[in-house]
Chains A and B, each alone.
Chain A
Amino acid sequence: MKTTRREFLEAAAITALGVAAGCRSDPPKFDPRAFRREERSRVAVIEAAKYETDLVDPILRGLREFDIAPRGRRIVLKPNIVEFDPAGVINTHPRVIEASAEAFLRLDASEVIVAEGPGHRRDNEYLLSASGMADILKERRVRYVDLNFDAVRALPLRSRYTPLKQLYFPRTVLDADLLVSMPKLKTHHWVGVTLSMKNLFGIIPSSIYGWPKNVLHWAGIENSIVDINSTLPVSRFALVDGIIGMEGNGPIQGDAKAAGVLVMGADFAAVDATCARLMRLDPTKIEYLAWAGEFLGNIDENRIDQIGVAPSIVQREFKVLPQFDRLRIV
């Protein structure tokens, strides 16, 4: 008998949870009265062919489609910076981060901060310098906060997909007027895709939970994604770098895949569902998106108003590992 890693983790988690719960039936995962899902969500897909062109304009065009009013607000940009990658595929591209900072400042944000808590490496100086991000931050006088070492506050979880009772969140994120999740459009070898919801793993401080954020892995990656997103009490917006994404064995060892888009929206579930469809993957088959679609946001395409270019026009077939063939749009 052979089993997959996914089945192994599920069985191990079920065993642990079953023992812990005395094999009683599961309580509800969330209180529906505590969450208000909008009837409809808006997601903008903006074409941007390459990093070497002006990206401020397309980002501004996208931002103006949403009621986020950056004027006078403190904006925290949370890119995905995991490993230095000369090919520029793993991380949110520095030019997208730079252009986003510029766009929010042009919209009169009082301050733009770039903040990340890399999950594998402690060495921020290396990651930021090698990627070119450090020079951009210095030139633009944008403050960077290492979320792994920020001051923290513990918050009780608002949903119960993991057995965790609380999580520590960094003060910089909690104090943000608007948190902008800026993931790369990538496939992911454990959960199918990594987008704006999964990108919030990076706000959970490794100084408490370690490198990698192993506690979240033990608690279940998909489960943790949902609990983090349900609990964070901060206004948020997603801006996905899909100019060049990653296919195959993401989030680190996959291959570059040009998609030529920036995807934006305030409903992370809707943004991620749209991104999945752009990769020709069915969001309803991606477990954590399906869970999020029950109470956090909209993943049903009939509830998403698409702005900009129609996803069907810019859809690209992203390769996935064989165990994720089942996620493909049939």
Chain B
Amino acid sequence: MVASHSTAATEWIDRLLQSRAADGGFGAAPGQPGNSESTALTLMALRAHPDRAADADRARDWLVQRQRDDGSWALLEGAEDGSWVTPWAILALQAEGGASFDAAKRGVDWLVRREGRRLGLVARVMFQLLPAEERTSLDPQLVGWPWHDGSFSWVEPTSVSVLALKHMRGALADRFPAERVEQGELLLYDRQCDDGGWNYGNRAVLGEELHAYPDVTAIALLALQDRPSERTAKGIKSLEQMLASDESSGLALALGCLCRSVYGGDATALRERLLARYRRTGFLGEMRTLALASLAFNGAEKLKLS
């Protein structure tokens, strides 16, 4: 790591810690209450800095204490349902060992039970009767993971769930939910845009193609990192093209760096752009981006499958 990168990573960690919520977690932005996603990502970022072990322990404890009885995590205290943040918590805690690892395993039990909504029989028949140009161009029978209970499967929650489960594969042994993971992968390929990347989860609406987003594409590629294929390669190419454009963001660049690192590429130039971006915008104070940027500079291996 070059000196400027090391300085930036330390600066970002300091900034995260300065913005820690009063409840001990990390929020979406400074002044916001702690949420499970930002706290999970910050925990991973802190673990890459051995001198911050005590702060990491505190973030870990916050996360473990917020686990619901059913094994899930809600984003915020006060939200009733376990949610899409659960795989992020699993990812952060599975590397912690001990009681935290047990919490991650309980999270997996919940995650495996969680499914995107399926079309009922009548709706399936009706869907088949729709003219092609009026259908959304995706396979409604594939089941991944939803953002919210009772809704459809979408790209980001499916990607993070697949990634978290793959990280737990060794520990789960014969309990590894291979069919769910495979179905999740199929869903991701089904939702791949014609340009090769991914957006929130729709390739086309009313016959018109939709374009991909770099941040979601990077997350999907992280989930598919152990699936070398023509389609995965197309996704990587799409991501690189999107990242090459001038208009970008800290979030896209941070996830782009992580993705490139996980796939064995050289992320040095992207890190330079990420740093320049931070100097210009401060990532608008978004804590999730700060944590991901910190990981991109120091800790990308935490998302890499062994």
In the complex, A8→B140 CA distance in Å? 14
Residues on the A chain within 8 Å of B83, using CB: 208
| 0/1 string, B218-254, CB within 8 A of A gives 1 | 0000000000000000000000000000011111100
16 intermolecular pairs with C-beta atoms under 8 Å apart: A8-B129, A15-B120, A15-B123, A122-B156, A122-B251, A125-B281, A125-B283, A129-B247, A130-B247, A144-B284, A146-B286, A149-B35, A150-B28, A209-B151, A210-B154, A211-B147
- Judge if A233 is at the interface, Cβ distance under 8 Å: no
B120 and A120 contact, CB distance less than 8 A: no
A214 close to B156 (CB less than 8 A): no
List A contacts of B151 (CB < 8 A).
209-210, 214-215, 218
Convert B74-95 into 0s and 1s, putting 1 for each residue whose CB lies closer than 8 angstroms to a CB of A. Answer: 0110111101100000000000
| Interface presence of B269 (CB below 8 A) | no
Q: B286 contacts A124, CB within 8 Å?
A: yes
CB contacts (< 8 Å) of B75 on chain A: these are: 207-208
Q: How many whole Å from A274's CB to the nearest CB in chain B?
A: 27
Q: Total contacts A to B, CB within 8 angstroms?
A: 134
**Interface: B1 (CB within 8 A):** no
Q: Which residue of B lies closest to A19 (CB)?
A: B120
Taken together as a complex, chains A and B put the C-alpha atoms of A211 and B32 apart, in Å, by 21
Q: Are A152 and B249 in contact (CB under 8 A)?
A: no
CB contact under 8 A between A208 and B79, given known A120-B199, A125-B249: yes
**B135 beta carbon closer than 8 Å to chain A:** yes
Give A146 to B127 CA distance when docked, in angstroms.
Answer: 35
- Report B146-157 CB contacts with A as 1/0, cut-off 8 Å: 111011101011
Does B213 make an interface contact (CB < 8 A)? yes
Q: Which residues of B contact A (CB under 8 A)?
A: 27-29, 32-33, 35, 75-76, 78-81, 83-84, 117, 119-120, 122-123, 126-127, 129-131, 134-135, 146-148, 150-152, 154, 156-157, 199-200, 205-206, 208, 213, 215, 247-252, 281, 283-284, 286, 289
Q: Is the CB of B130 within 8 A of A214?
A: no
- Min CB–CB distance B140 → chain A (angstroms): 11
CB pair A210 B147 closer than 8 Å: yes
Residues A1-24 near B (CB distance < 8 A): 1-5, 8, 11-12, 15-16
Chain B residues, Cβ within 8 Å of A110: none
Query: Which chain A residues in 197-214 approach chain B with CB under 8 Å?
Result: 206-212, 214
The answer, among A12, A120, A124, A207, for a CB contact under 8 Å with B123, is: A12
- Residues of A near B33 (CB, < 8 A) are 151
Q: Interface residues of B: mostly helix, strand, loop or mixed?
A: loop
The smallest beta-carbon distance between A51 and chain B, in angstroms, is 20
| Binary contact track A181-211/B, C-beta < 8 Å → 1, others 0 | 0000000010000000000000000111111
Q: Which residue of the partner chain, among A128, A146, A208, A209, contacts B29 with CB atoms under 8 Å?
A: A146
- Which chain A residues (122-161) contact chain B, with CB distance < 8 Å? 122-126, 128-130, 134, 144, 146, 149-154
Q: A214: which of B28, B152, B199, B205 is its contact (CB, 8 Å)? A: B152
A: residues with CB less than 8 A from B are 1-5, 8, 11-12, 15-16, 84, 120-126, 128-130, 134, 144, 146, 149-154, 168, 189, 206-212, 214-215, 218, 249, 253, 321
Q: When chains A and B are docked, how far (Å) is the Cα of A313 from the Cα of B289?
A: 49
- A249 with B35, Cβ < 8 A, contacts A8-B127, A120-B199 known: no
A128 CB, nearest partner CB in chain B, Å: 7
Tell me which residues across on chain B come within 8 A of A209, comparing CB atoms: 147-148, 151
Chain B residue nearest to A321 (CB atoms) is: B206
Contact B29 A123 (CB under 8 A): no
**Do A208 and B206 have beta carbons less than 8 Å apart?**
no
Complex Cα gap A120–B211 (Å): 12
- Indicate which residue in B80, B131, B157, B249 contacts A129 across the interface (CB closer than 8 Å): B249
- B148 A214 Cβ-Cβ under 8 A: yes
* Residue numbers in A under 8 Å from B29 (CB-CB): 146, 149
Is A123 within 8 A of B120, CB to CB?
Answer: no
CB of A211 within 8 A of CB of B122, answer no
